[in-house]
Chain A
Amino acid sequence: MKQDFVFTSESVTEGHPDKLCDQISDAVVDRYLAEDRFSRVVAETAVATGIVFIAIRVASRASVDVPSVARGVISRVGYDRDSFNAHSCSIMTSATELPASDYVEVDETDLDDAGLEQVPAGNLVTLFGYACTQTPALMPLPIWYAHKVARRLGEVRLTGELSYLTPDGTVQAGVEFRARRPHRLHSLSINACLDAADSPDPEQVTRDIRRRVIDAALEDEAIRPDRDTRLFINPKGSYGEGGPAAHAGLTGRKVAADTYGGFSRQASAALSGKDPSRIDRTGAYAARHAARNVVAAGLAGECEVQLSYSIGAARPVSVQVNTFGTGTVADPEIGERLRAAFDFRPAAIIRRFELRDQTTRRKGAFFSRLAAYGQVGRQDMGLPWELPDMAEALKG
């Protein structure tokens, strides 16, 4: 990899149609798990021109009124316009019951080692986890900044500071790297959808966003916009109200925003809308957990962990580590230590992170909160895969 480069990552607000779909899908998952922790559910959502399509495949004792869950999310996110609002939008639900054999009422906490071995991975998939020392959260800087600014963009609308904003917004942060370390903020682009009737002229909007969003979000950071940082605020003119009335959304289209902003390799599978039995979701958390602890243990300045699973086997068929030359210990050695210290089996991951109970513990909203502003690397939820609890074990 080149040592000097500009890298861009994108994040979006909760109201962006793609993220909205992620949140609706995960809200459905939450609701099923809250009522029946052994639920198997896959929920895919699409939204376009004011119509929401939700396809679910489910095996569960619970019964959930999916449209009302969706309306709840839409209302929480703040869509209340005539063009699209929680009350009047049309929701088409397509529900299939998974075969009864898919529904297994086995509590992972009760399983012994042999039992854990009996729960195989259901997908043939390779997952990546990443950690680096660019930020205190051990996340790459571009995505970290993009999330921060996007969060702030969502906040100023809710607090009323910039009440003319609508829930839909996109942030792209470009960071200039020298010798693979973040050097400065090269460019920042924000697309903030506005209420055409209420909003002031574009110059005022630019000033408002510059001051209240960008500066406010990044004021505590070491790398802030400097004189040469190119700021693009609604560069192609305002997109109007945005939201589902303007552009369509789909679950799983913002996987990069869910993880590392593209800085690391990434499996293409969506994370949202899947219950904990899906290794192509939980494996990403486990991989992050591993990478994070590698860096926390000081074994490397930058670490990418690759987990490959095969159908029918519980243990991953391959655990690879790449430290991009920053490792104090050889990469294969780190891999060995990971294999020894971490249990990457699907049932073990569920048990370790208590994925079946997080929803109930957090008042019915766990996965749906994960569905916006990153599923890994966030520091506001006390996530079990963000804890450096295995660092000591790795130091060996």
Chain B
Amino acid sequence: MGGRLRARVYLLRRNPALAAHLESDLAARPGILAAAANPATGTVSLRHDPAHDSDWALAQVADAAARAPRGRRPASLNGGDRPSRPAPGAAPAQSSGQSSGQSSGQSSGQAPAQASVPDTPWHLLDGAAVAGRLDVDAAVGLIAGEAAARLARDGPNALPEAPEPSRLAMLAEQFASLPVVLLGASAVVSLATGGLVDAAAIAAVVAINAAIGYLTESQAERTIRGLTRRVQQHALVRRQGTEAEVPAESVVRGDVLSLSAGMFVAADARVVEARDLTVDESMLTGESMPVHKSPAALGGGATPLAERVNMLYKGTVVTGGAGAAVVVATGEGTEIGTIQRLVSGAKPPETPMQRHLNALGRQLALLSGGICGAVFLTGMARGYGFAQMLKASTALAVAAVPEGLPTVATTTLALGLRQMRRRKVLVRRLEAVETLGSIGTICFDKTGTLTVNRMSVTALDLAGRSLDLRDGAFTQDGAPVAPGTLADLAWMLEIAALCNDAEPDRNGGAAAGSPTEAALLHAAHGAGIDVAALRARLPRTYTRRRSERHHAMVTYHATADGGRLFAVKGAPAEVLSRCRWLRRDGETVPLAEADRVAVLAGNEKMASAALRVLGVASHRQDDGGPLPEDGLTWLGLVGMADPVRSGLRDLLGRFHGAGIRTVMITGDQSATAYAIARDLDLSGGKPVDILDSTRLDGLDPALLAALTRQADVFARVSPAHKLQIVQGLQRGGQLVAMTGDGINDGPALKAADIGVAMGAAGSDVAHELADVVLEDDNIETMAEAVSQGRTIFANIRKALHFLLATNLSEIAVVFGATALGLGQPLTPMQLLWINLVSDIFPGLALALEPPGAHVMERPPRDTAEPIIRRQDLARVGVEGSIISAGALAAYGAGLARYGAGPQAGTMAFLSLTTAQLLHALSCRSDRHRIVERGRFQRNPLLTAALAGSVGATALAPVVPALRRLLGLGPLGAADLAVTAGAAVLPLVVNEAAKPWLNRLGAGGPGKGSGQGVMS
């Protein structure tokens, strides 16, 4: 099974040459399995490797289109600023022959407003030239007023949003469906046969149906559009020599962007400064590994997008390092703007549920149409009048054809989304609601998700001397220790404060910086160290930050006497391996083997108390030489605690009860991770399986899938590995939810079936990429989200179940009576009444059924399972037949008593309507009977809907106008009793038979029941 994509390509229509080119280009690309371009429709269909997603495939199509040989294409396809690519070898003659025509075509006013300099190869120029062309000094940025002027000239840095569907169009759509057409036909027939009142009533029904449909759909549409509203992005720009945060829309060409990890790139730009700058360009190039960027100019020749290491593109994410870049294109002139323009018109894919329901709806429509036709023919055969049968069968068609199955689903989804919003769960993709119910594994980051992310130093180990730190006071074995008396302690904390990026504030805390480093500053302050003065005394000359290859940070400092001080902090084992000396009791002694063992033992002891442990070392030398490989002096260990959030153990237990595996991902060592996993009972009572690996990408994929399925904890993992973990789990057949902060795990967030970001703590990137945002940063909300997702799915099933059963009962009654020659039990008006009164509102109320008590006590739904399964259809068939049997029995009794006439019809009508309404109660649960009160929460909406409908139906025989309209006859008490019996009996039978109905088509007791999410 591969991914599929259909995209409309601008200018592909009636261009067979372009079609041929696209097909051959796309088919040759790795990752694309098959491609077909249709010049008749202007669309490209392709199948791609499921490892890539549809955004990547779109980018491939756009790139292929842009590389197409130049023909009679206007310049706007090429975009304004992209440098000319030499035409592929096949068409040099073509291009030279047309070169004059081309260039004039290009520089004609067709280029978009934002990109006024055509075809400038920015990546071939060096930084100064770029800045010169854009008339800006890269060190200072744009000067006052210049930015505003350029904004006015070029327009905002925004991509056009897809236009809202017009309200009128939505309204018109309501009238375009098959049932309405049939009703219209029916009205015409009525008019023709002189039933003016009938025609008016039909028109009224149509109007009411359309109104209700329009209201619900427009609400749903609005809610769904609100899902993907673009997060308000900001950019850091250098203007007038200072950095300012501005909305991304106000970035203009010539602005100097200031970049650091975790930011979106606001516009296409040329890199002029780079310090370890790495960028994730997967949304443009499909390459999931971050790319290193550098400011040097590239040599000539055709450099594809992915290799332009001195360019940055709008929409990509900075994953590490820092830098600056001069904006060369904004808005529609950017690469991503071009792509959007090229492939606009590609509709967002339907969710699986919608697809299935559409298909089902079509099938059922055909079936119902067939039956109505059969009714018509049977009636004709029985000798009833043509017009009469025509009206009857069209009315039946209207009442029986299940219109708008997808609408029910969409409306319910939208209502459910609002519900979740109220509970602080922000869902950004409609599909996510469906997927939430089938999640099998949730991957939690340890820091910040499972823990509060507020580190503080609680333990120190100096060459065997164990100290505790609490509330700023140092103690050893309970006895207080004055930091001044331990020179080694002060020295170690000073080194930890030097090798540290956090900014100290006045109170000894940190104004900015990571929690780990802030904790170190705090501890240093507690020992009486003035960090600012220290840093001034020993200015830093070089920094090598912690990376995947080196799990330690190293800084160089210049000492007053011209020498050099090295400060090192990082993973204890790694720092220790580079030490040859040890600081003990004020002396520097050689590091013996026994000391090494003792240090590692101390590390383990701290780790087993769930502390994050860092080793600290230093080295001082008189000259300015580089850091020796193993000449460091070991100073000690620092242990920091990051408290676990409260209530997690129970929360994880809830997930386990729902059949969801919980997995922890952390960069910590195994012992720390094990301690936490044990405290939280992460593995649900089973042994804790920890995978400790630094090279997940080197593993065989099948092996990785097996390992990820097994592991409860991934230790020593860096954020870049999360993508492999997600893919491994997915390959093993799991649906995966993963939390992330977007900084280095963007691809993982995207690849996960549900990417989860924290609301307040997450970055812009996380919000943009995630499917679900927990606005209150509380993972308890995650359990809510899963519960809601399952409930919504179950409720859609219930509503559909109800609608299908009632529709079927109507068909069966009419068909049965006609076939048995019993005449017409229901008039068209009565059928329409049923449609209006007994279907719509109870259906909606069922869709809003509150979650049953056990929705979180069943295993996740199998994703391949369609929303309406064969067993559901079988069940619907049985229940509907029972209901119709009751109505037919009432009809028969009426016939026996009164003969053919309005009374018998009235009995049939009343019993059918009431039975259907009562069936709504039965549909509240597919497993539990109504009498099992404890299983149900109150659903006041349903009560109101039923009361209203029953009331209206009871009113009908009483109010003369209604009585006439519906053609009801007077009934005696005995008749009413029979009617009542015929209405109640099907409910009793259906309820009693529930356990057997459950097993219908499921292949035996218990087999299908475990899968259901109907509670």
A contact residues vs B (CB 8 Å cutoff): 34-35, 49-51, 55, 62-68, 87-97, 363-364
B689→A66 contact, CB < 8 A: no
B597→A363 contact, CB < 8 A: yes
Bound-state CA distance A299–B694 (Å) is 58
A90-B693 CB under 8 A given contacts A49-B703, A51-B707, A67-B715: yes
Complex contacts, A64 vs chain B, CB 8 Å: 604, 671
Complex contacts, A62 vs chain B, CB 8 Å: 604
B691→A91 contact, CB < 8 A: yes
B671→A51 contact, CB < 8 A: no
A68→B691 contact, CB < 8 A: no
Bound-state CA distance A97–B716 (Å) is 22
A93-B703 CB under 8 A given contacts A63-B607, A67-B670, A68-B573: no
Complex contacts, B670 vs chain A, CB 8 Å: 65-68, 93
Complex contacts, B1003 vs chain A, CB 8 Å: none
B691→A90 contact, CB < 8 A: yes
Known contacts A65-B607, A68-B670, A91-B692; 4 additional CB pairs below 8 A are A51-B707, A67-B669, A88-B693, A93-B690
User: B951 an interface residue at 8 Å Cβ cutoff?
Assistant: no
CB nearest to A64 among chain B residues = B604
Bound-state CA distance A68–B692 (Å) is 9
B593→A63 contact, CB < 8 A: no
Complex contacts, A96 vs chain B, CB 8 Å: 687-688
B690→A92 contact, CB < 8 A: yes
A65→B671 contact, CB < 8 A: yes
Most chain B C-beta atoms within 10 Å of own C-beta, residue among A50, A95, A97, A363: A95
The 3 nearest A-B residue pairs measured at CB: A63-B608, A90-B693, A67-B692
**How close is A321's CB to chain B, nearest CB, in angstroms?**
43
A65-B604 CB under 8 A given contacts A90-B707, A95-B688: yes
Bound-state CA distance A90–B597 (Å) is 23
Most chain A C-beta atoms within 10 Å of own C-beta, residue among B593, B597, B604: B604
Bound-state CA distance A364–B601 (Å) is 11
User: B699 an interface residue at 8 Å Cβ cutoff?
Assistant: yes
Bound-state CA distance A66–B573 (Å) is 14
Question: What's the tally of chain B residues with a CB closer than 8 Å to chain A?
Answer: 36
Q: Which chain B residues (553-582) contact chain A, with CB distance < 8 Å?
A: 573
Bound-state CA distance A92–B674 (Å) is 12
A90-B607 CB under 8 A given contacts A49-B703, A363-B593: no
Most chain A C-beta atoms within 10 Å of own C-beta, residue among B669, B692, B698, B703: B692
**How close is B26's CB to chain A, nearest CB, in angstroms?**
36
Complex contacts, B600 vs chain A, CB 8 Å: 68
Complex contacts, B671 vs chain A, CB 8 Å: 63-65
B594→A363 contact, CB < 8 A: yes
B605→A63 contact, CB < 8 A: yes
Complex contacts, B711 vs chain A, CB 8 Å: 92
A92-B710 CB under 8 A given contacts A49-B700, A63-B607, A67-B715: yes
Most chain B C-beta atoms within 10 Å of own C-beta, residue among A64, A89, A93: A93
Bound-state CA distance A67–B670 (Å) is 7
**How close is B672's CB to chain A, nearest CB, in angstroms?**
9
Q: Can you list 12 A-B contacts (CB < 8 A)? A: A34-B601, A63-B605, A63-B674, A64-B604, A67-B669, A67-B715, A68-B573, A92-B690, A92-B692, A92-B707, A94-B687, A363-B594
Bound-state CA distance A88–B669 (Å) is 14
Bound-state CA distance A89–B675 (Å) is 23
**How close is B624's CB to chain A, nearest CB, in angstroms?**
31
Bound-state CA distance A139–B607 (Å) is 45
**How close is B149's CB to chain A, nearest CB, in angstroms?**
55
**How close is A368's CB to chain B, nearest CB, in angstroms?**
13
**How close is A235's CB to chain B, nearest CB, in angstroms?**
30
B604→A94 contact, CB < 8 A: no
**How close is A326's CB to chain B, nearest CB, in angstroms?**
46
Q: B688 is contacted by which of A34, A50, A94 (Cβ under 8 Å)?
A: A94
**How close is B689's CB to chain A, nearest CB, in angstroms?**
5
A90-B695 CB under 8 A given contacts A65-B607, A67-B670, A95-B690: yes
User: B985 an interface residue at 8 Å Cβ cutoff?
Assistant: no
Bound-state CA distance A49–B706 (Å) is 14
User: B696 an interface residue at 8 Å Cβ cutoff?
Assistant: yes
CB nearest to B600 among chain A residues = A68
**How close is B674's CB to chain A, nearest CB, in angstroms?**
6
**How close is A56's CB to chain B, nearest CB, in angstroms?**
9
Most chain B C-beta atoms within 10 Å of own C-beta, residue among A68, A88, A363: A68
B669→A95 contact, CB < 8 A: no
B691→A88 contact, CB < 8 A: no
Bound-state CA distance A95–B711 (Å) is 11
**How close is A322's CB to chain B, nearest CB, in angstroms?**
42
A90→B675 contact, CB < 8 A: no
Bound-state CA distance A35–B603 (Å) is 13
Q: A88 is contacted by which of B597, B608, B695 (Cβ under 8 Å)?
A: B695
B700→A63 contact, CB < 8 A: no
Bound-state CA distance A78–B693 (Å) is 19
Complex contacts, A90 vs chain B, CB 8 Å: 691-693, 695-696, 699, 707
A88-B687 CB under 8 A given contacts A64-B671, A65-B604: no
**How close is A68's CB to chain B, nearest CB, in angstroms?**
6
Complex contacts, A91 vs chain B, CB 8 Å: 691-693
Bound-state CA distance A68–B601 (Å) is 11
Bound-state CA distance A65–B691 (Å) is 12
CB nearest to A82 among chain B residues = B698
B608→A93 contact, CB < 8 A: no
Bound-state CA distance A99–B603 (Å) is 26
Bound-state CA distance A125–B593 (Å) is 40
B703→A88 contact, CB < 8 A: no
Q: Which chain B residues (569-617) contact chain A, with CB distance < 8 Å?
A: 573, 593-594, 597, 600-601, 603-605, 607-608
B692→A93 contact, CB < 8 A: yes
Bound-state CA distance A49–B607 (Å) is 29
Using an 8 Å CB-CB cutoff, how does the interface string of B715-727 with A read, 1 for contact, 0 for none?
1100000000000
Complex contacts, A97 vs chain B, CB 8 Å: 678
